[in-house]
């Protein structure tokens, strides 16, 4: 096996040409990050169910109060403490009979039916529950959005500029975390009049810290990535670096954190209302309704059950959706 020897010289070699032929072709259509995430989310049944429930409850919160002619604040003592009654749902207990089995509607000669019953002032609970859902969701979403804005700006600045700025800003956060937030919130509500604004402010004043930390952590991680360095060597300005490179890449974590902030805010608002620091009547939030219902739980259990179901379902849905979003937006974090 001896081949004729041939001197191998450099000029025998040529560069293999770069073929822009078949091997460079990419299959399918371009897939964006968000369409990919949406596809993954749809596969997750729990999260999808959560999403649908949230949409359903949000829609109900908006249109529910208008489905009956009753207003959430009109009192009529003649209609007080009526059990729930809905035509066609008698077999589910919506038959208008109270704990003693007496049909209150027949006994008092009322022709109207109240789907969720009425409270002790004769206000329609159906209207009040959906109005309360509306207010609770509103408080939670506004609080979460304010958390988001403050948190992203604070965390972003802290991580992006780094060094001494970061050091000082993180110490401030640590001081804020060191103060028990319940005390801050209670003091806040004592100073301000109890109401929607003061509840939101009280929750935001300590709530943004979590978001700020998440954003800071993410940006610190991204800052060392080579595409950020590349953008710097290309002469990209700081603002462009933040808005075009960092924020889109942190968006996933921001949304996930937001999704877990909303149920926490709903719960916290309910808690504040429950201990009497929340909204004042005749305004209703889910916490206020639960507190009212809890007082007369033995005899008029429906007053507690309906708002309790609504708040539970909303909380579970947001948590399911949040979990699903975390898996969809950041497959690496999947547990």
Partner 1 sequence: MSEKEKLIEVKNLKKYFNVGKGKILKAVDDVSFDIYKGETLGLVGESGCGKSTAGRTIIQLYNATSGQVIYDGEDTQVKKSAVDKKSMKKKMQMIYQDPYSSLNPRMTVLEIIAEGIGNHEVQLKSKEKEARVYDLLESVGLNKKHANRYPHEFSGGQCQRIGIARALAVAPEFIIADEPIAALDVSIQAQIVNLLQELQQKKGLTYLFIAHDLSMVKHISDRIAVMYLGGVVELAGSEDLYDNPLHPYTQALLSAIPIPDPKIERTRERIILKGDVPNPMDPPSGCRFRTRCPKAMQICTEIVPEWQEVSSNHFVACHLYKQ
Where do contacts with partner 1 occur on this chain (CB under 8 A)?
Answer: 15-16, 18-20, 24-26, 30-33, 225-227, 229-237, 240, 244-245, 248-249
N-to-C CA span, the chain? 60
Question: Which residues face 124 on adjacent strands?
Answer: 118
Nearer to partner 1, 37 or 139 (CB): 37
Rounded to a whole number of angstroms, the minimum distance from the CB of residue 15 to partner 1 is 4
Nearer to partner 1, 7 or 25 (CB): 25
Rounded to a whole number of angstroms, the minimum distance from the CB of residue 39 to partner 1 is 14
Nearer to partner 1, 25 or 193 (CB): 25
Distance CA 272, CA 211 (A): 22
Rounded to a whole number of angstroms, the minimum distance from the CB of residue 31 to partner 1 is 7
**Phi, psi of 58, deg, nearest 5:** -65, -45
**Cβ(128)–Cβ(289) below 8 Å:** yes
Nearer to partner 1, 248 or 276 (CB): 248
Rounded to a whole number of angstroms, the minimum distance from the CB of residue 299 to partner 1 is 58
Nearer to partner 1, 58 or 249 (CB): 249
**DSSP per-residue string spanning 232-297:** HHTT--HHHIIIIIIHHHHHHHHHHHHHHHHHHHHHHHHHHHHTT-SPPTTS--HHHHHHHHHHTT
**Cβ(311)–Cβ(286) below 8 Å:** yes
Nearer to partner 1, 131 or 326 (CB): 326
**Cβ(289)–Cβ(308) below 8 Å:** no
Rounded to a whole number of angstroms, the minimum distance from the CB of residue 20 to partner 1 is 5
DSSP label at 92?
A: G
Rounded to a whole number of angstroms, the minimum distance from the CB of residue 98 to partner 1 is 59
Tally of CB atoms within 10 A around 56: 12
């Amino acid at each position: 096996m001896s081949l004729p020897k041939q001197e191998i010289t450099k000029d025998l070699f040529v560069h293999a040409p770069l073929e822009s032929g078949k091997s460079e072709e990419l299959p399918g259509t371009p897939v964006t990050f968000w369409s990919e995430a949406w596809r993954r989310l749809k596969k997750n049944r729990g999260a999808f169910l959560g999403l649908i429930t949230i949409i359903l409850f949000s829609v109900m919160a908006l249109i529910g109060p208008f489905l009956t002619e009753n207003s959430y604040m009109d009192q009529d003592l003649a209609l007080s403490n009526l059990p729930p009654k809905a035509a066609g749902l008698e077999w589910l207990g919506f038959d208008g009979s109270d704990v003693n089995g007496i049909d209150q509607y027949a006994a008092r000669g009322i022709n109207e039916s109240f789907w969720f019953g009425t409270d002790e002032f004769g206000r329609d609970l159906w209207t009040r529950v959906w109005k309360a859902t509306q207010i609770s969701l509103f408080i939670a979403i506004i609080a979460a959005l304010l958390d988001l804005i403050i948190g992203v700006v604070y965390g972003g600045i802290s991580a992006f500029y780094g060094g001494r700025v970061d050091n000082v800003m993180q110490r401030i956060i640590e001081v804020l975390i060191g103060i028990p937030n319940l005390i801050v919130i209670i003091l806040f509500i004592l100073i301000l009049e109890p109401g929607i604004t003061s509840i939101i402010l009280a929750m935001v004043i300590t709530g943004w810290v979590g978001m700020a930390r998440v954003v800071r952590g993410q940006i610190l991680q991204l800052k060392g990535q080579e595409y950020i360095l590349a953008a710097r060597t290309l002469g990209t300005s700081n603002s462009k670096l933040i808005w075009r490179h960092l924020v889109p890449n942190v968006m996933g974590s921001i949304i996930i954190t937001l999704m877990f902030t909303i149920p926490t805010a709903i719960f916290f608002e309910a808690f504040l209302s429950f201990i009497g620091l929340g909204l004042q009547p005749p305004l209703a939030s889910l916490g206020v309704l639960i507190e009212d219902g809890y007082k007369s739980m033995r005899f008029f259990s429906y007053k507690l059950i309906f708002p309790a179901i609504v708040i539970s379902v909303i909380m579970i849905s947001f948590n399911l959706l949040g979990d699903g979003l975390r898996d969809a937006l950041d497959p690496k974090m999947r547990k």
